[in-house]
Amino acid sequence: MIIKHVRMAFRQITRHKFSFIVAILGLAISLAAVGHLVSYALFYLDFDKKVENHDEWYRLRYSQVHPELGEIASADFFIPPAPMLIRDIPEITDHLLYWPSVIAMNLRCDGKPFQMEKSVFVSPNFPKHYKLDIIYGDPDSLLSDRFKLLISESFSKNYFGDANPVGKKIYVGETPRYTISGVFADMDTNLHLRHDIYSLWYNDEEDSSDSEDDWYLTGHVRVRIPHKKNLKIVQTKLNTILNEYSSLIGQSGNLKVYLDPIAKIHFITGLKNDAPTMSILSIYSILALSFMFLLTAISNFLIIIGLSWKKRGDEFFFRRAVGAGRAELIHQMMCEYSLYFCIAVLLGIVLYAVTMGFFSEFIRVDLLSYSLFLLPYAGCTAIAIITLGLVSSLIMSLRHSAMALGCSTRHRNHRDRGITVLLYLQMVIGFAFITLAVSLSINYSLISNIERGWDFKNTIQYSYLTVNDDSIKGYYDARLLRQRIREIPGVLKESVSNFDLVTTSLDNQNGFHKVQVYLNDNQTDTPVLSYLCSCPPDFFRTREISILNGSIPDEVAENMVVVNSTFAQRYLDNPIGSSIRIADNDESPWYEVLAVVDDCWFFPTYHEMIPMVMILKAYMVRYYQISWQDGLKQDVLPALEELFADAASSGGFGYSSLEIEHAQSLYYVQEQTIKNISLAMTIFVVIIAVMGVYAVSSVSIHSQMKDISIRKICGAEFHDLWRLYCRKYLLLYLASAIPGLILAYNLIKAYTDRFAIQSHYGAIAYPAAIIIMIAIVFIPLYFSIQKAYRADPTRYLQAD
């Protein structure tokens, strides 16, 4: 009997190909899309949860509370004093330190450069904390002293191939400095402290903090507090201790300590010096919308399958007439529905597997470890799909078997209203997400191609620590290096600075020092906040930065500065000739403002434009920007690499490089992910909306085929039927447009509010959504009416 029902189901598929293609393909795509979005959510919800006893670990951070400026929250804590501060707090049973250094070292191994552009210093318990899978090396002595390096598997293979590198010496010049102590399997990408190279920060529990310099370095500090009831106790003790050392810390304002659960730190946004973070609300929203869309897709699937059974009403009436009861009809319908559902599920699984790699690349997140085919997700996924299939099968079979045995008009009217409401909700969501996707694409294009106020075309930036002096041992002379750069054929221009021209973090390590500035013409002693950096006078001319007021000579005295437009507008009425002081002691010099330059985006545009003071004299030079002539990139870059390798070979510092245009594209990785997720969800919504319009219009028109047949016999043409049925959908369209566009406005605002600049071009998204939704609503309706118009009217009148 089951085989007979299965054959009947396949026969129906061949008879109503288009309807079943829409139903099965729509549900399959929906299942695959939901699978991808669930994998995406799992990736973030699992952030930093692979730590041993992760629920007992907390990030230790501080914030400064200024009476005038409010609270400035940081993700860091003071690294050198941390062991001493927590040593006498028994509620803390363990701690971990993590400090990244951006200064490259000139290292060599096996006679070739050992590229360690960034080094990370950690406490010795780091491998255990992250449960690192050690491939080579003794797990008990990986970080037993300061001269051991722990490297990742991918780094090891890139440098040493498949050989075991444990025991190899890393040299600074001719002196051995480090020994590779171990190789660990690459860490998952959803870890807050992920890196390729680790070395020991300290191995002395008696570190002191009697020097002001000890409080200068800040980094990531974690503490283990097994009992949550002790959190307030620890926080109070640390606040008290910090106040005792306030004279050494040297930061104005009151300091407050915070303890953040490490499983949540990736979702705490707006902290200074933090790694990129994600809003937890957006993750939960994606999950909620995914399941809502899946329910909508399955509802559309049920409507189309139900319509195919309605069209077979004569068959079911005949079976009832020859003695078939409700149980037999339920059995038949469950068999048929199960076949349709299984085909959709199998197709969805294939689509999910085939598109997994593409989706991961599209959103720039590695989701392969969170595939729903892997344990423990596979079991939960199977249970969810089986439950969904059984529940929907029972609902459909019970309802339509009852209809085959007789159904009241009142229930039919309720059902019609229900599917109309479902269609309305799909259209509202369609308006919202289409508008959102178009607007986010426009805004992303704007922020990624903004006029940044300085010339970076065909430019590479080298980071290499030098001094303007040829007599300092271990440092290369910056003046000689600049001269050698200019002599390379194909170099168009070169400039130097002591701050990074492409950075996502405005901190001391990148040359941006947040300082208090005292103004000569200020009648009070209250300072203002600004960022301090340094560069030579020719930097502005070389990088084509507009001088708005004043002038910058080629040679300047010691105490001369330039301010940007934002600083002048906020703090100085007559900037040229004004005097400013960087510190509050009488020995600090006064600086004269020579010029006001245009604001430049050396950082992502989600930062507000910062007030900047640029000192025109710098003893040290760290960043070199070199531009090449068009078409000569392949000649210039190898020559530059050879030059910097030669310069670094005579000192202790290494170098690193990055093409500026490529680096700026890395500014907005998270924004591009959000934009691409919105595009993916919009495609998902469009498919569901098309499926919904087709399903609802088919059911609505089929229920009125008697009326349509009478109209055709009386001479009605296609345009008459189109005009008649178009009214209902036009009203639905207009009624859904208003709330849909309002919802889109709020979603767009939530995305764009974090940026310091706004685009008026985003308004194009609203008319674009209106046009796209017209196509989504009225094209499926057109095909449904066309199909009804071509049907034989006498068939329906005779059947009636």
Q: What pLDDT shows up at residue 69?
A: 58
Beta strands in 520-655 (DSSP E): 528-534, 547-550, 560-564, 579-581, 590-597, 612-615, 620-628
Do both 42 and 84 map to the same domain?
no
Decide if pLDDT at 601 tops 80.
yes
Q: What percent of the chain stands above pLDDT 70?
A: 90
Q: What pLDDT shows up at residue 436?
A: 87
Q: What pLDDT shows up at residue 729?
A: 84
Region 624-640: mean pLDDT is 93
Do both 376 and 511 map to the same domain?
no
Any domain includes 580: yes
- Residue 206 confidence class, pLDDT cut points 50, 70, 90: very low
- Residue 784 confidence class, pLDDT cut points 50, 70, 90: confident
**Which is higher by pLDDT, 403 or 195?**
195
Do both 61 and 42 map to the same domain?
no
Q: What pLDDT shows up at residue 352?
A: 93
Do both 534 and 647 map to the same domain?
yes
- Residue 781 confidence class, pLDDT cut points 50, 70, 90: confident
| Domain edge (last residue) among 641, 664, 687 | 664
Cβ neighbourhood burial of 32 (10 Å; 0-12, 13-18, 19+): buried
Largest separation between any pair of C-alpha atoms in the chain: 108
Any domain includes 381: yes
Decide if pLDDT at 391 tops 80.
yes
What is the full DSSP assignment across 321-348?
HTT--HHHHHHHHHHHHHHHHHHHHHHH
CA dist 697 and 628 (Å) reads 62
Do both 637 and 563 map to the same domain?
yes
Tens of pLDDT, residues 692-707 = 888 777 777 777 777 7
Q: What pLDDT shows up at residue 203?
A: 57
* DSSP 8-state secondary structure symbol assigned to residue 272: B
**Which is higher by pLDDT, 622 or 325?**
622
Do both 246 and 111 map to the same domain?
yes
Region 395-409: mean pLDDT is 67
CA dist 177 and 155 (Å) reads 19
Q: How many CA atoms lie within 13 A of 285 on its CB side?
A: 12
CA dist 677 and 40 (Å) reads 9
| Domain edge (last residue) among 406, 425, 450 | 406
Decide if pLDDT at 487 tops 80.
yes
Any domain includes 649: yes
Q: What pLDDT shows up at residue 534?
A: 92
| Domain edge (last residue) among 647, 664, 681 | 664
Q: What pLDDT shows up at residue 210?
A: 52
Do both 89 and 200 map to the same domain?
yes
Any domain includes 758: no
Most confident of 45-54, 280-289, 557-566: 557-566
Q: Which of 104-108, 472-476, 521-525 has the lowest mean pLDDT?
A: 521-525
**Which is higher by pLDDT, 728 or 234?**
234
Task: Name residue 788's beta-bridge partners.
Answer: none
Pairing mode, if any, of strands 612-615 and 528-534? parallel
- Residue 504 confidence class, pLDDT cut points 50, 70, 90: confident
**Dihedral pair phi/psi, residue 96, rounded to 5°:** -145, 135
**Which is higher by pLDDT, 201 or 413?**
201
CA dist 87 and 109 (Å) reads 38
Q: Residue 21 belongs to what H/E stretch?
A: helix 17-45
Region 642-647: mean pLDDT is 88
pTM (2 decimals)? 0.78
Region 144-169: mean pLDDT is 89
Do both 35 and 79 map to the same domain?
no
Any domain includes 735: no
Any domain includes 492: yes
Tens of pLDDT, residues 746-760 = 888 877 777 777 777
- Residue 683 confidence class, pLDDT cut points 50, 70, 90: confident
Cβ neighbourhood burial of 595 (10 Å; 0-12, 13-18, 19+): buried
Check if the beta carbon of residue 233 is closer than 8 Å to that of residue 44. Answer: no
Check if the beta carbon of residue 125 is closer than 8 Å to that of residue 252. Answer: no
Q: Which of 510-514, 561-565, 719-723 has the lowest mean pLDDT?
A: 719-723
Q: What pLDDT shows up at residue 268?
A: 84
- Residue 792 confidence class, pLDDT cut points 50, 70, 90: confident
Any domain includes 135: yes
Decide if pLDDT at 45 tops 60.
yes
Decide if pLDDT at 159 tops 90.
no
Region 474-491: mean pLDDT is 91
Q: What pLDDT shows up at residue 181?
A: 92
Region 123-149: mean pLDDT is 89
Tens of pLDDT, residues 244-253 = 777 666 566 6
* DSSP 8-state secondary structure symbol assigned to residue 277: -
Check if the beta carbon of residue 627 is closer than 8 Å to that of residue 584. Answer: no
Region 94-98: mean pLDDT is 91
Q: Tell me the two tokens of residue 112.
A: 């070739």
Do both 311 and 401 map to the same domain?
yes
Angle 469-472-476 from CA coordinates, rounded to 5°: 65
Split into its structural domains, the chain has a count of: 3
125 is in which domain, residue-wise? 54-262
SS3 content of the chain, % helix, strand, coil (to 5): 50, 20, 30
Region 104-117: mean pLDDT is 76
- Residue 408 confidence class, pLDDT cut points 50, 70, 90: very low
Q: Which of 111-125, 406-420, 513-527, 693-707 has the lowest mean pLDDT?
A: 406-420
Do both 40 and 58 map to the same domain?
no
* DSSP 8-state secondary structure symbol assigned to residue 316: H
Most confident of 70-74, 138-142, 314-318: 138-142
Any domain includes 786: no
Do both 62 and 185 map to the same domain?
yes
Region 336-344: mean pLDDT is 89
Region 418-443: mean pLDDT is 85
Decide if pLDDT at 272 tops 80.
no
Tally the residues of the chain: 800
Q: What pLDDT shows up at residue 409?
A: 45
**Which is higher by pLDDT, 456 or 507?**
456
**Which is higher by pLDDT, 352 or 2?**
352
Do both 566 and 480 map to the same domain?
yes
Decide if pLDDT at 670 tops 80.
no
Neighbours of 727 (CB within 10 A): 9
Tens of pLDDT, residues 576-600 = 988 888 875 566 788 899 999 999 9
